[in-house]
Structure 1
Amino acid sequence: MIDHITVAVSDLTKSRLFYERAFAPLGYTLSFGKENVFWAFDIGNGCLFEIQQADSASPLTCIHVAFRAKNRADVDAFYQSALAAGARDNGAPGPRPDYAPDYYACFILDPDGYNIEAMINQPLDKA
């Protein structure tokens, strides 16, 4: 399952206002973010659609997709399989406490250079 997708935008304020209005009929709402960096919209089932300022210093590429894993071992296996298939490392599997206390993820760059993530956000005893 896709956990979140992030797209780079040229004008974060303008795009935030656009998506707030466009998503209203769908019931999608602004969930969280950081002024001048990114905004995340709750699109249901714990999934997010995120926008980020294109010229930010973020390690994300213009398109970022995060796939939700069942457990930490699957995150590790995805990372190893992706590297074996020709991906480039963009962040080895490990905790990402700056994202959330129980966030565990890895990042690879696919053949076109897009940042692809496998992640889980559950306490270790449940992951």
Structure 2
Amino acid sequence: MIDHITIEVSDLDKSKLFYEKAFAPLGNRLSFGKQGVFWAFDVGNGCLFEIQRTGEKQQLTHLHVAFRVKSRAEVDAFYRAALEAGGADNGAPGARPDYAENYYACFVLDPDGYNIEAMINEAAKA
């Protein structure tokens, strides 16, 4: 399942207002964000649609897709398989406590340079 998609926008304030109004009839609302950096909208089923300021210094690209997986082992396996398939490393598997306490993810660049993430946001199972 897709956990979140992030797109880069040229005018964050204008885009925030646009999506707030466009999503309102669908029942989708602003969930969280950081003024001047990014905004995340809850689009249902635990999925987020995010907008990010152009040029924000992160490992993201113009388009970012994160796939929610079932285990940390699946994050690790995705990373290895993506690199073997010709992807480029953009962040090895590991904890990302700056995202959330139990966030574990990896990032790879696909053949077109888009940032693809496999992630899980659950406590590690013993």
Number of the residue aligned with 2:15 = 15
2:11 aligned partner, one-letter code: D
1:20 aligned partner, one-letter code: E
Number of the residue aligned with 1:92 = 92
String of CA shifts for 1:26-70, please: whole Å, max 9, x gaps.
Answer: 000000000110000001111100000012212210000000001
Number of the residue aligned with 2:48 = 48
Number of the residue aligned with 1:73 = 73
SS in 2 for 1:91: coil
TM-score between the two structures when normalised by the length of structure 1:
0.97
Fraction of identical pairs, as percent: 71
- The CA RMSD measured in Å over matched residues stands at 0.9
Number of the residue aligned with 1:39 = 39
Deviation (angstroms), 1:72:
0.5
How many matched pairs?
126
SS in 2 for 1:4: strand
SS in 1 for 2:4: strand
TM-score between the two structures when normalised by the length of structure 2:
0.98
Unpaired runs of 5+ residues, structure 1, are none
SS in 1 for 2:74: helix
Deviation (angstroms), 1:125:
2.1
String of CA shifts for 1:69-121, please: whole Å, max 9, x gaps.
Answer: 01000000000000000000000000000000000000000000000000000
Number of the residue aligned with 1:27 = 27
